[in-house]
Amino acid sequence: MADIIELLPDHVANQIAAGEVVQRPASVVKELLENSIDAGATYIKLVIKDAGKTLVQVIDDGMGMSVTDARLCFERHATSKIRSAEDLFGIHTKGFRGEALASIGAIAHVELQTKTDGKELGTTVIMEGSEVKSQEASVVPKGTAISVKHLFFNIPARRNFLKSDTVELRHVIDEFHRVALAHPNVAFSMWHNGTEMFSTPSSNFRQRIVNLFGFKMNEKLVPVNEATELVDIDGFVLKPEFSKKGKNDQYFFVNDRFIKSPYLHHAVKSAFEGLIKDGYQPGYFLKFKVDPKSIDINIHPTKTEIKFDDEHSLYALIRAAVKHSLGQYNVAPVLDFDRDSQLDTPYNYKDKPVTWPTVEVDRNFNPFQEETKYRSSGITNFRSKQKESWESLYVDLELEPKGDAESAVIGIEQDFKHSKIFGEDHTEVQIKTYQIFTKYVITALKSGMLIIDQNRAHQRILYEEYLKQLTTKASVSQQLLFPITLEFTRKEFSVLDTIKEDLAHAGLLYSSVSDSKIEVTGVPIGVPESEVLTIIEDLISDVTQEIPDTNFGTHDMVSKSLSKSLAIKTGQSLSALEQEDLVNRLFACKEPSLSPFNKPIFITMALGDIEKQFKL
Ligand code: ADP
Ligand code: MG
């Protein structure tokens, strides 16, 4: 057989390497910022256009490069940061693979201007798809400026793969935050499409956090400091009451490098145990200093995952340090979240002996059997019977009342009428409903009964209402007499901006006062002013978590988030009118049996089954 193996040409090899290093504009931002840090810059300016798709430019006042280095830096495995394999065990720089510029040069138009200290003239190099287009002497300031234009110009598939500007911008901001947080002593600024988004002078870590995330952050921070033989821990956790549902505000840095570590995250989370609600996440900005010999940074091309020699001890130390801080700052006493006395055991139950609940399984149950033939005992399992089951209970029921004469013949004890808002349009109670455990509403029908989860039922109602408002763009809003001013970080603000129109249709009207402040002038009907901030914060965190995966479905997402925030909760007692209204509106929904999050809303008990139980 003839020889078939060939060495790949450089530009192909570089493109392949680029696949690992450069996924999106944010990857370029990370690499360039880190190079500037390694070059000892004291001020770094990041300029991007169209979320970095058109331009990523990084300008620094670092050591610059010689004429030869300015050319050589685009070669693969060209680095000034390590000389031998041993150096890998004592990394003090961000880069060391010598891959970033070669990769970026292979998939973009790059212009490099650089000058070292004391030299009269600097160099300008122009690269296009791994080829040097020109290199000449030029008059430039000390330091380095690199412009990366038209990312993926020669790989359309990768370019098409990029998300919307909003999403890409968010990734860029994330990278910017990570580098800026790791190096508070370096001054940074960031510009997007001609406007300055961040500007942070050289400062300490606390000031840097506040500079990037807004002054509100200051009061949320609890310092964590612990010096041990294995690791020095320094930084802050957020007070438990500021924990959020998303993965916001979670930063670990090891030797000034941002890292991700589910294992260490778990250590922090476990220190917060009992202090934060289920499903909420602690926020933290924690820096660890360890001996470079005790870690391996080389396991991931973008170097965000690293391996520790002694992960177990690190876990224990971090957990202890965070616990200690929470205790010291007096945020650890028993916290009782939203406890509602109505959720406590009713006191006539208190002295009753505890009995073991009995569970009965119907072994003959066949979900594919027809409803009418199916005879089970006791409460029917919701999932197995789904929709037919409740519809069969409403055999004679007319959901849309046609007129008084007709509604009078409805075969159950009451008459179904539609009403819009709790308490409106009602003069008398007509459905027999009962609320139990301030959680469920029971309603009896001619042929059986329903046990309805009040929170899920209301979620469904609100969800369909908002969805309708958003798709038909018909908004109903309650004007505020005094507008409420709220402040957000720029990142939160940019998220909010992406759903501004949807929010307006849902009734939440605001105008921007500055690039981080908004003035809310209208809220959805029935929303108390005191809840506006929480609702918006929840929205932002829901949208932040959803968006990276999908560019569509914001209507759905916004409706879901609002319905979740605004639905009546477990523990809220409902008047007879409210219970009736809830039932009416639920069954006017398109999908009354499932909550927007696909949870069953009610279970049914058919009269026949109840009677059968008594005959046993
Ligand atoms: P690495 O950072 O892993 O060494 P890069 O491809 O990112 O690899 O950079 C290659 C080399 O180019 C660096 O080792 C450094 O010597 C030089 N370099 C890159 N960016 C700068 C900069 N902003 N200022 C000075 N030198 C730089
Ligand atoms: Mg580098």
Round to whole Å and give the CA distance between 175 and 188: 13
Q: What percent of the chain has pLDDT over 70?
A: 82
Q: How far is the CA of 231 from the centre of ligand 1 (A)?
A: 29
Nearest ligand to the C-alpha atom of residue 30: 2
| pLDDT higher than threshold 60 for residue 414 | no
Mean pLDDT score of the chain = 81
Give the model's confidence band at 37: pLDDT under 50 very low, under 70 low, under 90 confident, else very high: very high
Which residues make Cβ contacts (< 8 Å) with residue 162, sequence separation at least 6?
A: 24, 25, 53, 152, 168
Question: In this predicted model, which residue has the larger pLDDT, 118 or 429?
Answer: 118
CB 109 within 8 A of CB 153: yes
Evaluate if residue 215 carries a pLDDT over 90.
Answer: no
What's residue 35's pLDDT?
Answer: 96
Does residue 344 surpass a pLDDT of 60? Answer: no
Reported as type and span, the H/E element at residue 348 is helix 347-350
Query: What's the CA dihedral at 309, 314, 316, 322 to 10 degrees?
Result: -170
**524 Cβ contact partners less than 8 Å away, ≥ 6 residues apart:** 466, 476, 477, 478, 506, 507, 508, 562, 566
Q: Hey, which of 29, 34, 73, 300 would you mutate to test ligand 1's pocket, going by the most ligand atoms within 8 Å of its Cβ?
A: 73
The 3 state secondary structure assigned to 168-198 is: HHHHHHHHHHHHHHHCCCCEEEEEECCEEEE
- The pLDDT of residue 515: 80
Mean pLDDT, residues 215-238 taken together:
91
Q: What is the mean pLDDT of residues 461-473?
A: 84
Which amino acid type is present at position 320?
A
DSSP for residue 109: E
- Residue 561, pLDDT above cutoff 90: no
Q: Which alpha helices (H) appear in 90-187, and where do they start and end? A: 100-106, 156-161, 165-182
Candidates 79, 97, 111, 144: which one to mutate for ligand 1, based on the most atoms within 8 Å of Cβ?
79
Confidence bin at 391 (pLDDT 50/70/90): low
Q: Which atom of ligand 1 is nearest to the CA of 35?
A: 20
Minimal-distance CA residue to ligand 1 atom 7: 100
pLDDT for the residue 489: 86
Residue 430: its pLDDT value, please? 58
**Using one digit for the tens of pLDDT, what is the confidence trace for 239-291?**
998 888 878 899 999 999 999 999 999 999 999 988 888 888 999 999 999 99
pLDDT digits (tens, 9 = 90+) for 119-177: 999 999 999 988 999 999 999 999 999 999 999 999 888 898 899 998 999 999 999 99
Q: Give the pLDDT confidence score for residue 244 in this predicted structure.
A: 86
How far from each other are the two terminal CA atoms of the chain, in whole angstroms?
84
- How much distance in Å is there from the Cα of 65 to the middle of ligand 1? 9
Q: Tell me the CA–centroid distance for residue 80 and ligand 2, in Å.
A: 10
The helix/strand/coil state of 313 is helix
Q: Quickly state the pLDDT bin for 401 (edges 50, 70, 90).
A: very low
* Atom number in ligand 1 closest to CA 31: 7
Question: What pLDDT score does 407 carry?
Answer: 33
Report pLDDT for 469: 82
- pLDDT confidence of 406, banded at 50, 70, 90? very low
438 close to 343: Cβ distance less than 8 angstroms: yes
pLDDT reported for residue 546: 64
Q: Which residue(s) pair with 445 in the sheet?
A: 448
CA 105 – ligand 1 centroid, Å: 13
- Counting atoms of ligand 1 from 1, which one is nearest the CA of 143? 24
H helix runs in 412-553, sequence order: 454-472, 490-498, 500-506, 532-546
Quick one: pLDDT band at residue 478, thresholds 50, 70, 90? confident
Could you tell me the distance, in angstroms and rounded to a whole number, from the CA of residue 208 to the centre of ligand 1? 26
Identify the residues whose C-beta falls under 6 Å from ligand 1: 31, 35-36, 39, 60, 62-65, 73, 78-81, 95-102, 144
**Which one has a higher pLDDT value, 52 or 79?**
52
The CA 159 to ligand 2 mean position distance, Å, reads 23
Do residues 29 and 58 make contact, with C-beta atoms less than 8 angstroms apart?
A: yes
Residue with CA closest to ligand 1 atom 21: 35
CA-to-CA distance for 51 and 33, rounded, in angstroms? 16
Distances, alpha carbon 575 to alpha carbons 200, 335, 413, 432, in Å:
54, 30, 19, 12
465 Cβ contact partners less than 8 Å away, ≥ 6 residues apart: none
Considering every ligand atom shown, identify the ligand nearest to the alpha carbon of residue 74 and give its number: 1
Q: What percent of the chain has pLDDT over 90?
A: 39
Weakest-pLDDT range from 443-452, 534-543, 551-560: 551-560
From the alpha carbon of 94, which atom of ligand 1 is closest? 2
pLDDT top residue among 502 and 208? 208
* pLDDT at position 544: 77
Domains and CATH numbers, the chain: 10-84+91-200 (3.30.565.10), 206-328 (3.30.230.10), 429-616 (3.30.1370.100)
Query: Which residue CA neighbors atom 20 of ligand 1 most closely?
Result: 35
* Ligand 1 atom, smallest distance to 78 CA: 10
Q: Does residue 79 or residue 396 have the better pLDDT?
A: 79
Type of residue at 58:
V
Q: Please tell me the number of the ligand nearest to residue 36's CA.
A: 1
Identity of residue 314? L
The mean pLDDT value for 296-318 works out to: 84
Confidence of residue 301 (pLDDT cuts 50, 70, 90): low
CA–centroid distance, residue 383 to ligand 1 (Å): 59
Q: Give the distance (Å) from ligand 2 centre to CA of residue 180.
A: 16
- Please tell me the predicted confidence (pLDDT) of residue 332: 39
| Each residue's pLDDT tens digit, 494-523 | 888 888 888 888 888 998 888 888 999 888
Closest atom of ligand 1 to 102 CA is: 6
Which residue, by CA, sits nearest to atom 16 of ligand 1?
A: 80
Residue 64 Cα to ligand 2 middle (Å): 13
